[in-house]
């Protein structure tokens, strides 16, 4: 053993040894109970920085702890390898996306390995590999087969100069990220998945996910946005056309003073064509859609509208109300038409005031007689219905039921549910993604590629035009094909799939990563699934996690897997900050992982990350903090070095622990209470406090050095403490734990050891200190036997000199005794 902690040599040595021995390889046939620990796989952007590292340090600690707890742990890693940055790199540097991606994967894989993470690398997957995307395409076909994949026109961001489609994140302030041209919208035929079919289940299943943070569940719930209401059918006065509107406030139907259609509403055309104001209205619609195109993200909340000149009839009151068109009504939500009730909706009120539309109060606040129609603030709370013939005096909540019933009985409307969740647009007009396995045949139409013809290979050697267009459409060998049905010449779909699709099932593929004739073996997949612990960034709280849940539900519905929820427990770790800002390339505040590994090593880096902050909270990077972690490991090293001969020569000697002095017993108590607390801390992922406790124990061991040297019994206590410290550190700092474990005489890897058991008898305390309070303030302390009788505690406390002094001449009103904790004497 070297007297100095040479982390470089130690880390390299054990990484090699672990890999050679395959100690992290796992098979489904082991008899131990299974545990699936997963961290979100990264996009291979080029290099890992310490920000990424947090995710993996946390996940690895969990995996290693479970392994030591006797589980057979599946812990895999791979690459979310399709995506736009590869195309940008191709355009900027003239390198093929595939080549760029593969180079990044190689570099990042070696960085992963230098971190000493306990992955079963045999299971590595990359979503851009044909062996993987073959099954992504296959899954598309399954969704297609079950009617969950369909085509419809949808708007995309279009850069007229680049002649290409832009993702939302490529549009910056309404301008093309690359050329600063104003982005417009285009209607294109796109592929969608009917995730809305699962809206209700995605919502109701959230209750089952007890191991998920409440925060994430609430975010998903809001995203799904379920709302119950009524679809009420108004009729157009002149033509008799139906105008259904969706509302959750049907109790206010008698307060409707106008109707508003979305500018894109199908009836608009019919209403305005041939009318005297047609030109004016068309201009309005055009202006509105232009504005929303350019500046969709800004909170330009000014509501503007225009009357169509048409009138609609309120089916409840028979009243005629004007029909307007306004920018704030969205076509894709509800029916694309809303009823305006200015008295009871803030937004409607704003609109009505602006355009001089009438206001009619139909809900009175409880306890108030009635009210003026001339109001400043809409009354949106429940109340008593007024001015509502047949329903006056009814509480509005009850009125909702009665109105809905009345409408259903009379065919005026029906109860219905709406969601904010929209279908998942998966088409990307891009090259570097999994091709959608569809062929367009002039006679057969849309034809799915037969499963046996998969994968539809992505050409690897492509030419990027400076404009940034997807090259796929310009490769005749790719586009031109024959129809699988009739054999006629046909055209291939040139869109690729959203990369969220690739990441919606990778956790299943890890169970059978090389399966070639099926996406996975159902028995093996069902053995491992669901993922017991998923760890990743909060930024995926909605999309990735919702899509994965949708896929899993679908796959369980069609019998391909058993579980209908993919992730039992979810841990969302906080961001890593540098100087108060999220680490990112653009901010230039990245701390290089390579540099950390060179200067401090993997164990120190990992230890700092786990120690500096609780996992869910943000972590401020501090070089001085890293120094502290490094100092601690060096301190541990020196301690073991100092005792190495005694520890080795005593190796294998049983721990009888007889003839211990009280100092020895104190040391053992510290050792075992630490073990107990660290175990509890790890169970609840409180890594920072676990590390703090191990540090405390090592501090105590330093105080115990002289004793250990003086007596063999004490050396036995020291030996036990060293063993337990190493075992406790194994999930955090695997290399130094392994090295020192061997130093003290063990021949098998520490990472194949079981988590140690607490010797409860060693933790028993006999004497404890009790706090004596007078009127809630600490005035004295006393040492008593643990479990002392409350009456006895009271007597002793009252006998204390300090207490007698303070209580002198006052009335003792009450004495509160909390056994083993405190005595509080209340005096007046």
Partner RNA sequence: GCCGGAGUGGCGGAACAGGCAGACGCAAGGGACUUAAAAUCCCUUGGGCCUUUGGCCCGUGCGGGUUCGAUUCCCGCCUCCGGCACCA
- Residue number with CB closer to RNA (304 or 447): 304
Burial class (CB in 10 A: 0-12, 13-18, 19+), 224: buried
- Residue number with CB closer to RNA (26 or 260): 260
> Quick check: 343 and 360 in contact, CB under 8 A?
yes
How do 305-313 and 258-261 pair as beta strands?
Answer: unpaired
Give the sign of the dihedral formed by CA 115, CA 120, CA 122, CA 128. negative
Q: Which of 200, 199, 203, 195 is nearest to 148 (CA)?
A: 195
| Contacts to RNA from residues 631-660, by CB under 7 A | 631-632, 634-635, 638
Could you tell me the smallest distance in angstroms from the CB atom of residue 728 to RNA? 14
Burial 232-262, CB ≥16 within 10 A → b, else e: bbbbbeeeeeebbbbbebbbbbbbbbbbbbb
Burial class (CB in 10 A: 0-12, 13-18, 19+), 814: exposed
DSSP state of 208: G
- Residue number with CB closer to RNA (324 or 554): 324
3-state DSSP call for residue 274? Answer: coil
DSSP bridge partners of 425? 192
Of positions 149, 316, 325, 329, contacts RNA by CB under 7 A: 329
Could you tell me the smallest distance in angstroms from the CB atom of residue 502 to RNA? 21
Could you tell me the smallest distance in angstroms from the CB atom of residue 415 to RNA? 13
| Contacts to RNA from residues 690-709, by CB under 7 A | 691-692, 695-696, 699, 702-703
Residue 783 in contact with RNA, rule: CB under 7 A? no
Q: Within 13 Å and on the Cβ side, how many CA atoms surround 685?
A: 20
- Residue number with CB closer to RNA (18 or 234): 234
Count of residues of this chain found to bind RNA when the rule CB under 7 A is applied: 84
Could you tell me the smallest distance in angstroms from the CB atom of residue 692 to RNA? 3
**H or E segment at 308?**
strand 305-313
> Quick check: 323 and 311 in contact, CB under 8 A?
yes
- Residue number with CB closer to RNA (291 or 479): 291
User: Distances from the Cα of 635 to the Cαs of 604, 698, 806, in angstroms?
Assistant: 12, 8, 47
Could you tell me the smallest distance in angstroms from the CB atom of residue 678 to RNA? 10
Give the sign of the dihedral formed by CA 63, CA 64, CA 69, CA 73. positive
| Contacts to RNA from residues 476-505, by CB under 7 A | none
Could you tell me the smallest distance in angstroms from the CB atom of residue 618 to RNA? 6
Q: Count the neighbouring beta carbons within 10 Å of the beta carbon of residue 72.
A: 19
- Residue number with CB closer to RNA (142 or 689): 689
Residue 679 in contact with RNA, rule: CB under 7 A? no
Residue 347 in contact with RNA, rule: CB under 7 A? yes
As a whole number of angstroms, the distance between CA 641 and CA 637 comes to: 6
Could you tell me the smallest distance in angstroms from the CB atom of residue 253 to RNA? 11
As a whole number of angstroms, the distance between CA 610 and CA 604 comes to: 10
Of positions 51, 76, 97, 336, contacts RNA by CB under 7 A: 336
Residue 619 in contact with RNA, rule: CB under 7 A? yes
Residue 731 in contact with RNA, rule: CB under 7 A? no
Could you tell me the smallest distance in angstroms from the CB atom of residue 347 to RNA? 6
Residue 355 in contact with RNA, rule: CB under 7 A? no
Could you tell me the smallest distance in angstroms from the CB atom of residue 30 to RNA? 32
Of positions 269, 280, 397, 680, contacts RNA by CB under 7 A: 680
> Quick check: 342 and 380 in contact, CB under 8 A?
no
Residue 754 in contact with RNA, rule: CB under 7 A? no
- Residue number with CB closer to RNA (104 or 327): 327
Structure tokens belonging to residue 409 = 């009985």
Candidates 165-173, 279-287, 339-347, 426-434: pick the segment binding RNA (CB under 7 A): 339-347
> Quick check: 592 and 49 in contact, CB under 8 A?
yes
Residue 219 in contact with RNA, rule: CB under 7 A? yes
- Residue number with CB closer to RNA (618 or 748): 618
Candidates 30-38, 470-478, 674-682, 715-723: pick the segment binding RNA (CB under 7 A): 674-682
Residue 671 in contact with RNA, rule: CB under 7 A? no
Residue 800 in contact with RNA, rule: CB under 7 A? no
| CA–centroid distance for 577 within its chain | 18
Of positions 287, 521, 557, 620, contacts RNA by CB under 7 A: 620
Could you tell me the smallest distance in angstroms from the CB atom of residue 221 to RNA? 8
Could you tell me the smallest distance in angstroms from the CB atom of residue 756 to RNA? 18
Could you tell me the smallest distance in angstroms from the CB atom of residue 547 to RNA? 14
DSSP bridge partners of 186? 156
| Contacts to RNA from residues 366-405, by CB under 7 A | none
| Contacts to RNA from residues 412-431, by CB under 7 A | 418, 420
Of positions 542, 590, 648, 798, contacts RNA by CB under 7 A: 542
Residue 327 in contact with RNA, rule: CB under 7 A? yes
Candidates 88-96, 189-197, 477-485, 625-633: pick the segment binding RNA (CB under 7 A): 625-633
Q: Which residue in the block uniquely carries the two structure tokens 């607490």?
A: 758
Residue 812 in contact with RNA, rule: CB under 7 A? no
DSSP secondary structure, 417-428, as one string: EE-S---EE-EE
Q: Which of 436, 477, 481 is nearest to 454 (CA)?
A: 436
Of positions 155, 292, 526, 563, contacts RNA by CB under 7 A: 292
User: Distances from the Cα of 369 to the Cαs of 53, 251, 378, 385, 393, in angstroms?
Assistant: 64, 18, 17, 11, 10
Could you tell me the smallest distance in angstroms from the CB atom of residue 808 to RNA? 14
Could you tell me the smallest distance in angstroms from the CB atom of residue 327 to RNA? 5
Candidates 69-77, 243-251, 387-395, 401-409: pick the segment binding RNA (CB under 7 A): 243-251
The CA-CA-CA angle for residues 766, 716, 657, to 5°, reads: 45
Could you tell me the smallest distance in angstroms from the CB atom of residue 300 to RNA? 6
How do 619-620 and 576-578 pair as beta strands?
Answer: parallel
Candidates 105-113, 117-125, 534-542, 753-761: pick the segment binding RNA (CB under 7 A): 534-542
Residue 51 in contact with RNA, rule: CB under 7 A? no
Could you tell me the smallest distance in angstroms from the CB atom of residue 294 to RNA? 12
Q: Which runs of consecutive H residues, i.e. helices, occur in 186-312?
A: 199-204, 214-224, 266-272, 278-294
Residue 199 in contact with RNA, rule: CB under 7 A? no
As a whole number of angstroms, the distance between CA 107 and CA 45 comes to: 10
Of positions 370, 457, 764, 778, contacts RNA by CB under 7 A: 778
- Residue number with CB closer to RNA (180 or 627): 627
DSSP state of 210: T
Of positions 17, 330, 710, 754, contacts RNA by CB under 7 A: 330
As a whole number of angstroms, the distance between CA 313 and CA 321 comes to: 6
Of positions 227, 416, 515, 589, contacts RNA by CB under 7 A: 227
Phi-psi map region of 116: left, alpha, beta (phi>0 left; psi -120 to 50 alpha): left
Of positions 334, 435, 455, 471, contacts RNA by CB under 7 A: 334
Q: Which of 209, 217, 266, 117 is nearest to 541 (CA)?
A: 217
Going by C-beta distance under 8 Å and a sequence separation of 6 or more, which residues neighbour residue 758?
672, 675, 676, 679
Of positions 121, 138, 150, 328, contacts RNA by CB under 7 A: 328
> Quick check: 271 and 308 in contact, CB under 8 A?
yes
> Quick check: 655 and 718 in contact, CB under 8 A?
no
Could you tell me the smallest distance in angstroms from the CB atom of residue 427 to RNA? 20
């Amino acid at each position: 053993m070297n007297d100095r902690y040479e982390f470089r040599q130690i880390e390299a040595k054990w990484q090699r040894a672990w890999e050679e021995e395959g100690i992290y390889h796992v098979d489904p046939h082991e008899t131990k109970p299974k545990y699936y620990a997963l961290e979100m796989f990264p996009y291979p952007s080029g290099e890992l920085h310490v920000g990424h590292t947090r995710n993996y340090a946390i996940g690895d600690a969990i995996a290693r702890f479970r392994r030591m707890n006797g589980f057979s742990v599946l812990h895999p890693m791979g690459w979310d390898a399709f995506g736009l940055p590869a195309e940008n790199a191709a355009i900027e540097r003239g390198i093929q996306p595939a080549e760029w991606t593969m180079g990044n994967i190689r570099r990042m894989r070696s960085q992963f390995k230098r971190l000493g993470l306990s992955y079963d690398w045999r299971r590595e997957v990359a979503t851009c590999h044909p062996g993987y995307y073959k099954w992504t395409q296959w899954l598309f076909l399954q969704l297609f087969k079950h009617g969950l994949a369909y085509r419809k026109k949808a708007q995309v961001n279009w850069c007229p100069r680049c002649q290409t489609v832009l993702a939302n994140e490529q549009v910056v302030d309404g301008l093309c990220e690359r050329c600063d041209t104003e982005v417009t919208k285009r209607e294109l035929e796109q592929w969608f998945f009917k995730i809305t079919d699962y809206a209700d289940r995605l919502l109701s299943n959230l209750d089952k996910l007890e191991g998920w943070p409440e925060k994430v569940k609430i975010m998903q719930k809001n995203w799904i946005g379920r709302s119950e209401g009524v679809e009420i059918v108004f009729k157009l006065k002149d033509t008799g056309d139906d105008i259904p509107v969706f509302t959750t406030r049907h109790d206010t139907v008698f307060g409707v003073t106008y109707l508003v259609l979305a500018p894109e509403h199908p009836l608009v055309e019919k209403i305005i064509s041939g009318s005297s104001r047609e030109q004016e209205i068309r201009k309005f619609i055009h202006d509105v859609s232009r504005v929303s195109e350019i500046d969709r993200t800004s909170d330009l909340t000014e509501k503007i509208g225009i009357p169509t000149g048409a009138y609609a009839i309120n089916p409840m009151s028979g009243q005629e109300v004007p029909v307007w068109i306004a920018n704030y009504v969205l076509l894709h939500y509800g029916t694309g038409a809303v009823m305006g009730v200015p008295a009871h909706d803030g937004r409607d009120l704003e609109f009505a005031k602006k355009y001089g539309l009438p206001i009619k109060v139909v809900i009175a606040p409880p306890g108030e007689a009635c009210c003026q129609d001339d109001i400043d603030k809409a009354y949106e709370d429940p109340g008593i219905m007024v001015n509502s013939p047949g329903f006056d005096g009814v509480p509005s909540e009850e009125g909702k039921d009665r109105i809905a019933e009345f409408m259903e009985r009379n065919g005026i409307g029906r109860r219905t549910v709406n969601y904010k969740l929209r279908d998942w647009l998966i088409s990307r007009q891009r090259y570097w993604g999994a091709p959608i396995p569809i062929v367009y045949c002039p006679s057969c139409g849309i034809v799915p590629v037969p499963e046996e013809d998969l994968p539809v290979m992505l050409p690897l050697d492509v030419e990027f035009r400076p404009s940034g267009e997807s090259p796929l459409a310009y490769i005749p060998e790719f586009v031109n094909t024959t129809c699988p049905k009739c054999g006629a010449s046909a055209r291939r779909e040139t869109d690729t799939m959203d990369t969220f699709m690739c990441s919606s099932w990778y956790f299943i593929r890890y169970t059978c990563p090389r399966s070639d004739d099926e996406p996975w073996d159902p028995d093996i997949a069902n053995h491992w699934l669901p993922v017991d612990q998923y760890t990743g960034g909060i930024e995926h709280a909605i999309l990735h996690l919702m899509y994965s849940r949708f896929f899993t539900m679908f796959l369980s519905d069609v019998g391909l897997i058993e579980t209908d929820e993919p992730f039992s427990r979810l841990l969302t770790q906080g961001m890593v900050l540098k100087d108060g800002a999220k680490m990112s390339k653009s901010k230039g505040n990245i701390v290089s992982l390579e540099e950390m590994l060179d200067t401090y090593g993997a164990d120190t880096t990992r230890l700092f990350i786990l120690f500096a902050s609780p996992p869910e909270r943000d972590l401020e990077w501090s070089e001085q903090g890293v120094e502290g972690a490094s100092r601690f490991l060096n301190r541990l090293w020196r301690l073991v070095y100092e005792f190495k001969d005694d520890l080795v020569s005593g190796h294998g000697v049983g721990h009888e622990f007889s003839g211990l002095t009280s100092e020895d017993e104190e040391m053992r108590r510290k050792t075992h209470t630490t073990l107990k607390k660290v175990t509890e801390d790890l169970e609840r992922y409180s890594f920072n406090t676990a590390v703090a406790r191990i540090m405390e124990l090592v501090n105590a061991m330093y105080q115990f050095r002289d004793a250990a040297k003086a007596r063999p019994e004490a050396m036995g206590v020291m030996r036990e403490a060293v063993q337990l410290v190493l075992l406790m550190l194994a999930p955090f700092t695997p290399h130094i734990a392994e090295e020192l474990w061997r130093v003290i005489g063990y021949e098998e890897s520490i990472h194949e050891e079981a988590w140690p058991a607490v010797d409860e008898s060693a933790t028993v305390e006999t004497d404890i200190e009790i706090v004596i309070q007078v009127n809630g303030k600490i005035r004295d302390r006393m040492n008593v036997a643990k479990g002392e009788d409350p009456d006895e505690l009271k007597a002793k406390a009252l006998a204390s000199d300090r207490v007698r002094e303070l209580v002198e001449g006052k009335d003792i009103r009450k004495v509160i005794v909390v056994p083993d904790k405190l005595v509080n004497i209340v005096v007046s």
